[in-house]
Amino acid sequence: MKASLCVLFFAATSTLACFGQTPTNSALPITRVSTAATPGTWSSPGRNEFSMWGGFSPNSPTFIGASEQRTLSTMGLRYARLLTTTRLANLKYTFDVIPVALIRQPVSHGAWEDRQHRETRYGAGLSPIGLQLNFRSRSRIQPFAEGNGGFLYFTRPTPYTTTSNFNFTFSLGAGFQTFTSSHRAVTFGYKYHHLSNAYLAPVNPGMDSNVFYVGYSLFR
């Protein structure tokens, strides 16, 4: 009798122990982590771009203009609007407000200039006609080419005292735009810049500049 009771007790405790264990293959919830690459958010930062930029030209070559030994410092505010986009490139319209344009040059005395001493001519203007073409439009780093036209007005006749306060401008350039986040980018560029009074004055020597510039943009 005692042996039978022992056998029954052992069988009951073994059964309870088996039911109390958690199966090793139980259906627990599993979160799957995707390893697929997420496309860069800079591929569609927004159609409107607001920028601030500053540039400097250390010299004045004579490709078109004849004015020598001059430097140009500029600061500008830009609005750009995306016109069209493809997988390869984006085309933008650009409008620049230039509140500061400083030309450092030899002291001008009309028909001649004193190259032993220097003076500064102060100006401001607009470049309302511009286009910028960004290549690799889905990449974080986007090379671009640009061109724009406008005018600068100086407080004194520039680049010589026998010329005009008002000068037309145009520039052609290239560079690259690097996105630091989905809606922010830094721009590094170069542009050939030319100013000329288009014979609004009897004398029109013109002035060329090699402008290197950097800018910061916000997109919306």
DSSP states of 28-95 as a string?
---PPPP-PPPPPGGGS--SEEEEEEEEEES----SS----S-EEEEEEEEEEEEEEE-SSEEEEEEE
- Per the structure, the count of domains in the chain is 1
In a domain, 13, yes or no: no
In a domain, 32, yes or no: no
In a domain, 28, yes or no: no
* Burial group, residue 178, by CB count within 10 angstroms (0-12, 13-18, 19+): middle
**In this structure, what token pair is assigned to residue 89?**
């490139």
The closest alpha carbon to 133, from 186, 65, 83, belongs to 83
Instruction: Give the pLDDT confidence of 62-90 residue by residue, as tens digits.
Output: 999 999 999 999 999 999 999 999 888 99
CA pair distance 170, 107, nearest whole angstrom? 25
Q: Looking at residue 87, what is its pLDDT?
A: 86
CA pair distance 73, 105, nearest whole angstrom? 12
CATH assignment at residue 179: 2.40.160.20
54 or 137: whose pLDDT is higher? 54
In a domain, 121, yes or no: yes
In a domain, 6, yes or no: no
Instruction: Give the pLDDT confidence of 160-211 residue by residue, as tens digits.
Output: 999 999 999 999 999 999 999 989 999 999 999 999 999 999 999 999 999 9
CA pair distance 108, 160, nearest whole angstrom? 6
Element (H, E) at 42: none
Domain that holds residue 74: 46-219
In a domain, 2, yes or no: no
Amino acid (1-letter code) at residue 35? T
Taken in order 80, 75, 69, 168, the sign of the CA dihedral is positive
The model carries a pTM of 0.78
Query: How many other C-beta atoms are found inside a 10 Å radius of the C-beta of residue 50?
Result: 14
The closest alpha carbon to 132, from 123, 143, 124, 121, belongs to 143
In a domain, 65, yes or no: yes
Instruction: Give the pLDDT confidence of 39-51 residue by residue, as tens digits.
Output: 445 666 789 999 9
What is the total residue count of the chain? Answer: 220
In a domain, 80, yes or no: yes
> Is residue 43 classed as helix, strand or coil in its secondary structure?
helix
DSSP states of 8-31 as a string?
HHHHHHHHHHHHHSPPTT-----P
Contact 198, 207 (CB under 8 A): no
